[in-house]
């Protein structure tokens, strides 16, 4: 599949790869590090049109979402987005998503690889509620403008001032560049940023204007290194069907006053303590940790690296790892048969 910006990526020399069935740029000719630092020091522009968009509407939409999601949804009434995990009955994670209030309904933005799975899960659970669930992904393009320079760039464009003034996790419909866009201020880079949800046919024109205004086009590679520095979870790595939000360090997004699917399992896990926990590791040497590498404690395997790599803004090699709940290290990572020393650090690695 191709996003509405495929031709732009090719024209810019993007190195195209398959990601969840989508042809997307992993990087442009300048390279991942340059794109990463553009976001940390200025402003970067991402095509995230591959993300899934599901629309939930109806008189029981809000109670339904309370059953579906683990977080408290009160802020939705104040024009704010809410991040929330979505769980199986056994406490494992179906997906993590952001829910937005949208024209009397609720827009759920889900991970691209999980769109069909999520739609099936949500539709099945909706059977007992007066709601409709629609997959509107094919009608929407999505752009992300990220970095400390994003607000100033937006403020200089027609209609951009109101978007630039959004508070963190604020959202709404705005006239922008002669069209109407749904915008938010969430981000997936560990720093400030804005998102634009807009009709597929308008995506390329808005991309062109933002790029001409000075935003650096960025690919999937920089998106991953940025979110790793920010210790933001990626489904299939820090979260999965067999990894609970509590194990992934997301207890602040699990509110037990809600009768959500999976509550009983997570209450038991919270009472007894999760069997695993997510930790941040900085490599002491130059070895680069990668997802799937074994984590060692006293020369025995105690966990697995969920995400790892170079942190360009920190000048170090870092990893997120899921390890046994007991113990505080010191941990090592098994890299090609060598136990490479690490230092346990608080998360996130980078604070923007």
- In the prediction, which pLDDT does 77 show? 83
Percent of the chain predicted with pLDDT > 70: 100
Are 218 and 295 part of one and the same domain?
no
Are 174 and 28 part of one and the same domain?
yes
Are 304 and 225 part of one and the same domain?
no
Are 176 and 309 part of one and the same domain?
no
- Which of 174, 194, 229 is the endpoint of a domain? 229
**Residues 304-324: pLDDT tens digits?**
999 999 999 999 999 999 999
| Within a domain: 254 | no
Residue 293 sits in a domain whose CATH number is: 2.40.30.110
- In the prediction, which pLDDT does 63 show? 96
Q: What six digits make up the tokens of 31? A: 């390279």
Are 154 and 220 part of one and the same domain?
yes
SS3 41: helix
For residues 250 and 269, what is the distance between their CA atoms, to the nearest angstrom?
Answer: 13
- In the prediction, which pLDDT does 74 show? 87
Are 224 and 279 part of one and the same domain?
no
Are 149 and 30 part of one and the same domain?
yes
Are 182 and 41 part of one and the same domain?
yes
Q: Which residues pair with 87 in a beta bridge?
A: 93
Cis peptide, bond prior to residue 336, ω within 30 of zero: no
| Within a domain: 299 | yes
**Residues 248-262: pLDDT tens digits?**
999 999 999 999 999
- Which of 169, 196, 229 is the endpoint of a domain? 229
| Within a domain: 270 | no
- In the prediction, which pLDDT does 79 show? 86
DSSP character string of 89-158: TTS-EEEEEEEEEETTEEEEEE-GGGHHHHHHHHHHHGGGSS-EEEE-GGGEEEEEEESTTHHHHHHTST
Are 146 and 221 part of one and the same domain?
yes
Are 303 and 172 part of one and the same domain?
no
Are 43 and 150 part of one and the same domain?
yes
- In the prediction, which pLDDT does 312 show? 98
Residues spanned by the domain of 317: 275-345
Average of per-residue pLDDT across 149-178: 98
- Which of 199, 229, 259 is the endpoint of a domain? 229
Total number of domains in the chain: 2
Look over the chain and give the mean of its residue pLDDT values, rounded to a whole number: 97
| Within a domain: 108 | no
Residue 22 sits in a domain whose CATH number is: 3.30.1360.120
**Residues 89-128: pLDDT tens digits?**
999 999 999 999 999 999 999 999 999 999 999 999 999 8
Give 349's pLDDT tier (boundaries 50, 70, 90). very high
Give 57's pLDDT tier (boundaries 50, 70, 90). very high
Are 152 and 221 part of one and the same domain?
yes
**Residues 267-291: pLDDT tens digits?**
999 999 999 999 999 999 999 999 9
**Residues 170-189: pLDDT tens digits?**
999 999 999 999 999 999 99
CA dihedral 175, 179, 182, 188 (to 10 degrees): -110
Q: Is the pLDDT score of 15 beyond 90?
A: yes
For residues 144 and 198, what is the distance between their CA atoms, to the nearest angstrom?
Answer: 12
Q: Which of 169, 38, 337, 26 is nearest to 12 (CA)?
A: 26
Does residue 249 come out as left (phi exceeding 0), alpha (psi in the -120 to 50 range) or beta?
left
């Amino acid at each position: 599949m191709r996003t509405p910006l495929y031709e732009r990526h090719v024209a810019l020399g993007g190195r195209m790869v398959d990601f969840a069935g989508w042809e997307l740029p992993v990087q442009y000719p300048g390279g991942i590090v340059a794109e990463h630092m553009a976001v940390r020091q200025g402003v970067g522009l991402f095509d995230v049109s591959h993300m899934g968009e599901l629309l939930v509407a109806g008189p029981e939409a809000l109670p339904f979402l309370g059953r579906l999601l683990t977080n408290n949804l009160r802020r939705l009434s104040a024009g704010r987005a809410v991040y929330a995990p979505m769980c199986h009955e056994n406490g494992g994670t179906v997906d993590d998503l952001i829910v937005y209030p949208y024209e009397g309904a609720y827009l759920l933005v889900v991970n691209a690889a999980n769109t069909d799975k999520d739609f099936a899960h949500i539709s099945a659970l909706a059977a007992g509620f007066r709601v409709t669930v629609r997959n509107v992904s094919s009608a929407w393009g999505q752009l992300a403008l990220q970095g400390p320079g994003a607000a100033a760039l937006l403020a200089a464009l027609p209609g951009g001032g109101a978007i630039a003034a959004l508070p963190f996790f604020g959202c709404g419909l705005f006239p922008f560049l002669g069209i109407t866009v749904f915008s938010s201020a969430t981000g997936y880079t560990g720093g400030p940023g804005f998102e634009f949800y807009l009709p597929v046919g308008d995506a390329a024109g808005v991309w062109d204007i933002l790029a001409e205004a000075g935003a650096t086009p960025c690919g999937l590679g920089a998106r991953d290194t940025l979110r790793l520095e920010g210790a933001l979870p990626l489904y299939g790595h820090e979260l999965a069907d067999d990894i609970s939000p509590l194990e992934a360090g997301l207890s602040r997004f699990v509110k037990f006053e809600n009768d959500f699917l999976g509550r009983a399992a997570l209450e038991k896990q919270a009472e007894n303590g999760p069997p695993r926990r997510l930790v941040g590791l900085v490599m002491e040497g130059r070895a680069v940790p990668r997802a799937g590498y074994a984590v060692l404690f006293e020369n025995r395997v105690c966990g697995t690296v969920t995400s790892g790599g170079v942190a360009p803004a920190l000048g170090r090699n870092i990893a997120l790892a899921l390890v046994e709940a007991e113990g505080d290290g010191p941990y090592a990572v098994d890299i090609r048969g060598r136990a490479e020393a690490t230092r346990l650090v608080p998360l996130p690695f980078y604070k923007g």
